[in-house]
Structure 1
């Protein structure tokens, strides 16, 4: 199939370009590890990790903390402080799924995407009578929070005392509704780090603002091959400059990457001017931190219409196009392609990822990194509870868990095929390096860095998945 062929209408987002790079599935997997910051963790703060990814899947809070730690050279250090000083918060910004988001952007996420989640749950909200209960629930919740952050059970008790509960699912949907209208969010971590306390948004976060575009801190350095944060400028010789930029670059030039002189995705509707700038920012972050990836995946991730996402992408000039072996058009940061040839060995190492990691959950189509025959093994029974995964050579190669023993924790591997002794030893080294926050270590519970043998993930979604 030539580069000009489109697999479906969704692929026809750029001019036919016969010499676009064609990547194998293995190369796509390795490139994604580079883009995620998993191949070479950078000198980033915890909130910078969250910001560069756009948002971090966080149904399982301990696992989300590990996901953040794996993408920074500092590991788990400072992660608690990022929650305690409101640089990171957790809420339901999109798809009815809990995510970590930068604190200063919470209102923007909810203003743009909250109504879509409300619409998707409208029937259930009507059945539960959420509309007539919402104001009394808000008053009771804020009353319970007058003396500081509280565990969610304290709010449930306040609603019970006010006669607002009594039907299964009410507490969850009241909590969800008060998050979606930016009354509440999950703020500081509890003492054991397994959950968060509920806080009133108006007191916890400064009013207004969609969040600034952070600049590269002065003196910041990263190992060779590290991809800069999507909101940051180029590092080294891998340029992220768009059309019209001057200077030289080892990255593919815009006109050789399927882009027009006016942007990466020409001839889209609605006009890009109608798309909120914050949406452009989120889509940019997603494409650069998750690529190579299709624009349709960005629409799925953000739960936005494809036309809106394509319009947002039209003004993004620092992503480049490649195709996979099936001819599908994918987009990524040019630095990723520039770094890939010299980073293959580093990106091929064995990694142990926690449940619900963005490398897995950040995509609806996981076929580039996971054999379809093994898809059910990472989410047994299709119940939405994803297991921790083993990644080797850019591919999801199995699942893993930890077994508690008096003499120390033991790594249990469930590979999807034969795992060489070399890779088993590499997995053990990765196990020893998993950045588990101190409060989650060796206490007999799941720590988000591997399911305890014979148990299930101890999630923190506070209710059933909504989408």
Structure 2
């Protein structure tokens, strides 16, 4: 059994999470290194995802993350919770094999409403492969969503009323298609990705059976997100709690347990070792993007975000996370990008004002963000 350590404060727990996520202590050397460590990084909003990586890889620019997507050293797909994430290409297929079935079962009712059958999905697979092949022959690196929808329509597959989105998502969930390079042309920065056949874009995938894969996913989640509970993992991955607990039995000898308020939090031994000294970052202030894994990657976010401020981060509980300021391991406010041509950043602290040192740190973070996004 792992050693037990008791009662770090919530702020210390938050700083341990910052360390685990590469947000304190120097980060990672490359974009693929950061993404591979995090396993899955929420990326429904691409701009937020770019900065989430940038905060973990010092000295990079948004163009470096886009270049990784263009090169296929990082992929963006729907591995869990029906939302887009960044992940290492070799990890996508085995994670889909664990999570995809449950997601597709949850969509079965909606597919019946839309008149989508398994034959329709197979038909659209063949259409998509032919479309991608024809475009490739003409020098295009992939097919846009609009090109695929037009091809579906031409073959009698209706795409209106979200039917096209569900057909395309089903092809990606089955690892027949994957999002590939950005769709920019003529020197313009792309805002969408092109779709390509999965096996062409990701020729080498790891193979893990379900039990082995869940254990691997849990271990990597705790290593990159800990301290975290088993319920946090089950929510994040959408793996049934019974299977998550069984996986914990397989990996807990490589983890450390913290007992706090009757709950078990798990983290890596390397992160736990920092409790022997002062955990770094007590004076740190970070301007993190909306949807960052530091906040979104847990079922219970009250450890780092006081419940009374939760609606200031997710107004109306609408699922849209605002950018957050994190001071010493605690979410202390939100921030916004303002202006038109003269772009700037503006702090929105919960307490109404930042102290002088925190104000200076925030503006340094703001300058780093603007430089990153412009690069």
TM-score w.r.t. structure 1 length?
Answer: 0.73
Q: Give how far 1:297 is off.
A: 0.9
Equivalence for 1:39: 24
Match for residue 194 of structure 1 among 191, 195, 213: 191
2:36 counterpart residue number: 51
1:106 aligns with 2:41: no
Among candidates 280, 304, 320, match of residue 256 of structure 2 = 320
Indicate conservation of the 8 Å contact 2:258/2:265, yes or no: yes
Determine the C-alpha separation between the residues in 2 that align with 1:195 and 1:136: 24
Is 1:96 the counterpart of 2:96? The answer is no
8 Å Cα contact 1:90-1:186 kept in structure 2 = yes
For residues 197 and 232 of structure 2, what CA distance do their matches in structure 1 show?
Answer: 33
Deviates more, 1:336-345 or 1:173-182: 336-345
- State whether residues 62 and 193 of structure 1, in contact with CA within 8 Å, keep that contact through their aligned partners in structure 2: no
Aligned to 2:224: 289
Secondary structure at 2:281 match in 1:
helix
Query: Do residues 368 (structure 1) and 303 (structure 2) align?
Result: yes
Q: How many Å apart are 1:294 and its aligned residue?
A: 0.6
Note closer, same or farther for the CA distance 1:431–1:314 as it changes in structure 2 (3 Å cut).
same
**Normalised TM-score (structure 2):** 0.90
Residues 1:275 and 1:177: Cα distance change in structure 2 (over 3 Å):
closer
SS in 1 for 2:86: strand
Establish whether residue 184 from structure 1 lines up as the match of residue 186 from structure 2. Answer: no
The match for 1:411 among 316, 326, 345 is 345
Q: Secondary structure at the match of 2:50?
A: helix
Check conservation: 2:98, 2:210, Cα contact below 8 A. Answer: no
Q: Which has the higher helix share?
A: 2
Classify 1:45/1:343 alpha carbon distance in 2 versus 1 (closer, same or farther; 3 Å). Answer: farther
1:61-110 CA-partner distances (Å, limit 9, x unpaired): 12112111211234336323321222211111111111112111221111
Q: In structure 2, how many angstroms separate the alpha carbons of the residues matched to 1:391 and 1:318? A: 29
In 2: Cα distance, 1:174 partner to 1:160 partner? 12
Residue 107 of structure 2: which of 111, 117, 121 is its match? 121
DSSP 3-state at the match of 1:364: coil
Partner of 1:420: 355
| Contact persistence 2:281–2:328 (CA under 8 A) | no
Measured after TM superposition, the shift of residue 125 of structure 1 is 1.0
Q: 1:327 offset after TM fit, Å?
A: 2.8
Query: How far off its partner does 1:210 sit?
Result: 3.1
Which of 49, 56, 76 does residue 71 from structure 1 map onto?
Answer: 56
For residues 29 and 153 of structure 2, what CA distance do their matches in structure 1 show? 43
8 Å contact kept, 1:23–1:323: no
- Calculate the aligned-residue CA RMSD, in Å: 2.2
Aligned position for 1:141: 128
Q: Given that residues 41 and 70 in structure 1 are in contact (C-alpha distance below 8 angstroms), is that contact kept between their aligned partners in structure 2?
A: no
* In structure 1, distance between residues paired with 2:183 and 2:371: 16
> Aligned residue for 1:441?
374
Match of 1:206 among 203, 219, 225: 203
**1:159-174 to 2 correspondence within 5 Å?**
159-165=152-158, 167-174=160-167
User: Which residue does 1:251 correspond to in 2?
Assistant: none
Partners of 2:370 and 2:227 lie apart in 1 by 26
1:160 positional shift:
2.4
Return 333-342 or 88-97, whichever deviates more: 333-342
Match in the other structure for 1:305: 240
> In 1, are the aligned partners of 2:15 and 2:281 still within 8 Å (CA)?
no
> Partners of 2:67 and 2:131 in 1: how far apart?
24
Kindly state the Cα deviation for residue 358 of structure 1 after the two structures are TM-superposed.
0.4
Using a 3 Å threshold, how does the CA distance of structure 1 residues 189 and 354 change in structure 2: closer, same or farther? same
State the distance in 2 between where 1:21 and 1:344 align: 15
Query: 2:149·2:159 contact (CA, 8 Å) conserved in 1?
Result: no
Say whether the 8 Å CA contact 1:39–1:347 is kept in structure 2: no
* Mapped contact 2:285–2:361 kept (Cα < 8 A): yes
- CA 1:179 to 1:275, structure 2 compared with 1: closer, same or farther past 3 Å? closer
Q: Distance in 2 between matches of 1:432 and 1:143?
A: 46
Are the aligned partners of 1:34 and 1:347 in contact in 2 as well (CA < 8 Å)? no
Identify unmatched segments of 5+ residues in structure 1: 1-13, 212-273, 443-467
Structure 1 residues 348, 335: closer, same or farther in 2, change over 3 A?
A: farther
Q: Does the Cα contact within 8 Å between 1:92 and 1:99 map onto a contact in 2?
A: yes
2:231/2:299 contact within 8 Å kept: no
For the 8 Å contact 2:92–2:205, the answer to whether it is kept is: no
Matched residues, number: 361
Distance 2:30 2:190 in 1: 18
Flag the 1:109–1:123 CA change in 2: closer, same or farther, 3 A. same
Question: 1:37: Cα distance to partner?
Answer: 0.6
> Is contact 1:352-1:430 (8 Å) kept?
yes
Tell me if the contact between 1:390 and 1:397 (Cα under 8 Å) persists in the aligned partners: yes
